[in-house]
Structure 1
Amino acid sequence: MKLIFLLNLLWVLCSTARALQCVTCTDKTCASTVPLTCGSETMCITARILGTQSGATATQIYKACASSSLCPATGSSSFSVNMGLQSAVADAVCCNTDNCNSQTLSIPPTRTPNSLQCIVCDPTTFQCNTPITCKGEENNCFTAFVTDGTKRFPAMGCVSPNACAAASNLGGLPFMHNFRIVRGPECCTTSLCNVPTTAPQTTPTAQSTTTAEIAGGLQCLTCTDEACLSTVSVTCCSEIMCITAVMLATSSGATNQQIYKGCASSSLCPRTGSHTYSINLGFQSAIASAECCNTDNCNSQTLSCGSNHRIF
């Protein structure tokens, strides 16, 4: 994943004029939007998310640049995760032209039950022995271990196949921000195929996420122009890290610098702190110095090419 990111980064930095622009929300209700210059992403996404927690529901509009994990192709798609008392379903449209994600989708319709049953965990005791009936496109059962801050606990339930595939690459369940996957997900296709063979090891102080956390997410600053002269705060999707980076690309002796701020997946930010990414193809090279953090709008600083973040 990091190599793919760096190859895409190299292409973006050496072809800045061709970088995709997508509309992004500046608040959780998406009452206002701004154009955003994408980094390595080659897709825009607009999505409407419906999150449920113990019978209470919340919705969110999400517009942003999208990785290939969320948007492997243009067109419509639906992501769904159901852990019993907690669930999230998102209808999304992916596109690949400038600001093509300006439309706002309607609230996802109610999904009808299908024939698949999966095991879920009790959010209080974390005993994983309760079967539920899946809905809509949830054609897989899943098992994973996740973290919520410093707490680690099991997560099981129903999932759509595309959400399972995306979770493996994103390091988190799509549109369920607070859960970072530390193992899994393991997905299977037959009823009750995720019955645990041994009792999961859990942390007694672990707490379940809330509806607001399902429908909301981490807030990170992102640049609204290529020079990053202005920034806005955006709501992340499944990412639980913010990143600020300064990147240099060299092609045939010419050097191009770009500042990048945004939400980051676990493949880019496996932990908080400083990271360096580098690739050299001989006639072209790129190197990026980055800082990762996990609190709202923590990526406000702009790194330089000197001091502790020296690149060349």
Structure 2
Amino acid sequence: MELKIFIVLFCALFTGGHSLKCFECSGIMGSCESKVTTCPGIATATCGSATIVTNTGGNEVKMQSKSCTVTEACITSSINFGVTRTVTSTQCCNSDLCNSKDAPDSSSNSLNGKQCYSCDGLSCFNILNCLGNEDYCIKATVPGGSASQTVKGCASKSICDATSQANAGYMSFSCCKGNLCNGAKSVTQNLLFLLWPLFFFILIH
């Protein structure tokens, strides 16, 4: 009898009848053409909306994205290499088609007193003033052609937490807390992807 009850509960959790329906779309500058999608029937499925703001050389691009996601991905994050900065703001909910509204833009250009080293192609000891919730320094190695490239900058805690949970990766990545701490050796972690906020709302089919 206990086995039958377990099987019924298991099936109820993973069948499409209990799956969430969410709006799905992506677009630059707020142009987000929506359609409806059905989420996988897993316990952590949720509807999500994200606003992703990328600033490169003073040029800002804002993208809106909506889709099924998981509760673990519902975070606000910022990664700043000096030459480029990406801030992802998210909003999640758990009822059908509840993600109709865009996530509010939570990017902040306010200095927070934190400083980290950054790279400009010539030197990796340029001092970068961190912004908003960027309270960690980062250092990563990016493969590029015949030689790898080092990048450094500021990041929010959520970026470092996400990379520490990656199961596999192809670039070295490290986080540290303390002004200019990314100039020396630090603990290396695996990084699944460097600019992961840009792909934050990939469907989990």
Q: TM-score, normalization: structure 1?
A: 0.51
> Counterparts of 2:53 and 2:181 in 1: how far apart (Å)?
26
Find 1:144's aligned residue among 140, 146, 161.
Answer: 140
Change over 3 Å in CA distance of 1:108–1:121 after alignment to 2: same
Deviation larger for 77-86 or 34-43:
34-43
Q: Which residue of 1 aligns with 2:177?
A: 189
> Counterparts of 1:36 and 1:129 in 2: how far apart (Å)?
47
1:44 aligns with 2:55: no
- Secondary structure of residue in 2 paired with 1:128: coil
Structure number with the higher helix fraction is 2
Q: Aligned-pair RMSD on alpha carbons?
A: 3.4
Q: Which residue of 2 aligns with 1:131?
A: 127
Q: Which residue of 2 aligns with 1:67?
A: 70
Change over 3 Å in CA distance of 1:166–1:150 after alignment to 2: farther
1:118 aligns with 2:116: yes
> Counterparts of 1:170 and 1:102 in 2: how far apart (Å)?
30
Please list the CA deviations of residues 180-234 of structure 1 after superposition, one character each: whole Å capped at 9, or x if unmatched.
x623432111101111449xxxxxxxxxxxxxxx7x96xxxxxxxxxxxxxxxxx
Please list the CA deviations of residues 242-278 of structure 1 after superposition, one character each: whole Å capped at 9, or x if unmatched.
xxxxxxxxxxxxxxxxxxxx479xxxxxxxxxxxxxx
Tell me, which stretches of 5 or more residues in structure 2 are unaligned?
1-9, 187-194
Q: Which residue of 2 aligns with 1:166?
A: 162
1:85 aligns with 2:83: yes
Question: How many residues are aligned here?
Answer: 186
Question: In structure 1, what residue type is equivalent to 2:69?
Answer: A
Please list the CA deviations of residues 29-67 of structure 1 after superposition, one character each: whole Å capped at 9, or x if unmatched.
443201111235512221211101111111011111223
Question: Are the aligned partners of 2:109 and 2:131 in contact in 1 as well (CA < 8 Å)?
Answer: yes
- Secondary structure of residue in 2 paired with 1:186: strand
Change over 3 Å in CA distance of 1:138–1:26 after alignment to 2: closer
Counting only pairs closer than 5 Å after superposition, residues 1-312 of structure 1 correspond to structure 2 as 14-25=14-25, 27-28=27-28, 29-39=30-40, 40=42, 42-71=45-74, 77-122=75-120, 124-125=121-122, 127-147=123-143, 152-169=148-165, 182-197=170-185, 236-237=199-200, 262=203
Report the CA distance between 1:20 and its aligned residue: 2.0
Tell me, which stretches of 5 or more residues in structure 1 are unaligned?
1-9, 72-76, 173-180, 199-213, 218-235, 240-261, 265-312
Report the CA distance between 1:167 and its aligned residue: 3.3
Report the CA distance between 1:116 and its aligned residue: 1.1
